Structure 1
Amino acid sequence: MAEESNFAVNETKKTLGEIEVAPEVIEVISGIAASKVAGVYAMQGKLGSGVSELFGRVDHKKGVHLTADDEGLKVDIYCYLDYGVSVPKVALELQEKVREQLVHMTDIELKEVNVHVVGIVPEKTELQDLFNLDDDEDGEEE
């Protein structure tokens, strides 16, 4: 997680005042943009975000970690992808969408967008295919 400092936006025009964006806002924007990319199944969360989701609360910054250092802002995205997608293509689209949304919404440039594919989620199997309900357990017909 990033430091507890805010990031200045549009430093060239200080005639009307100063605009600051909290690090949590950058994480939320990145998380929403990443989850909207086709091929992304879900974002990796922690126990706390999993418990929150059980109670109906959505954690939009789940799977997003922001770090700020001398080089600039870096975002790490931890996600699960759908089975059958091209991992490099989805990762590249993730990087582009996150950068694009942050520039569009906050005018903040990111130094890096690092994508970490945590796992691949296979296609769901129909429950009826798993258990053939037409057959009797003993193999006898009535």
Structure 2
Amino acid sequence: MQGSFTNEMRERLGGAVNHSKGVKIDLTEAGIVIDVYCYIQFGATIPLLAQNIQDSIRETILNMTGLEVIEVNIHIVGVHFERQETVSFDELEI
């Protein structure tokens, strides 16, 4: 997760939202709403992964605070692929 004071102030003043920080929590009259922005590894099952994240967050917040979470929204903002080893031209056998 990334972020800075400058990014936070820009978002609060109506600037572009920076999703690289990872988590946004809103405390409303109805309850807690959590937005999670994450990157996934290529090949992961998105619905299963999202459900596991949602369940884990709900359980953790309830155990730590006793507050009920009404929404946990999972936003997939990117996919990471495995890095392939690069071979330099000098290493090639000809």
- TM-score scaled by length of structure 1: 0.49
More helix by share: 2
- The answer to whether residue 59 in structure 2 is matched with residue 100 in structure 1 is yes
Count of matched residue pairs: 79
Structure with the larger RCO, 1 or 2 (CA within 8 Å, 6+ apart): 2
Residues 47-83 of structure 1 show CA distances to partners (whole Å, capped at 9, x for unaligned) of x28xxxxxxxxxxxx3110112232110000010011
- Quote the RMSD (CA, aligned, Å): 2.2
- The answer to whether residue 62 in structure 2 is matched with residue 122 in structure 1 is no
CA distance in 2, matches of 1:104, 1:132: 56
Q: Larger radius of gyration, structure 1 or 2?
A: 1
The AA in structure 2 aligned to 1:134 is: E
CA distance in 1, matches of 2:24, 2:58: 14
- TM-score scaled by length of structure 2: 0.71
Q: Which position in structure 2 is the counterpart of 1:91?
A: 50
Any gaps of 5 or more consecutive residues in structure 2?
Answer: 6-20
Any gaps of 5 or more consecutive residues in structure 1?
Answer: 1-42, 50-61
CA distance in 1, matches of 2:42, 2:91: 30
Q: Which position in structure 1 is the counterpart of 2:35?
A: 76
| Identity fraction in percent | 33
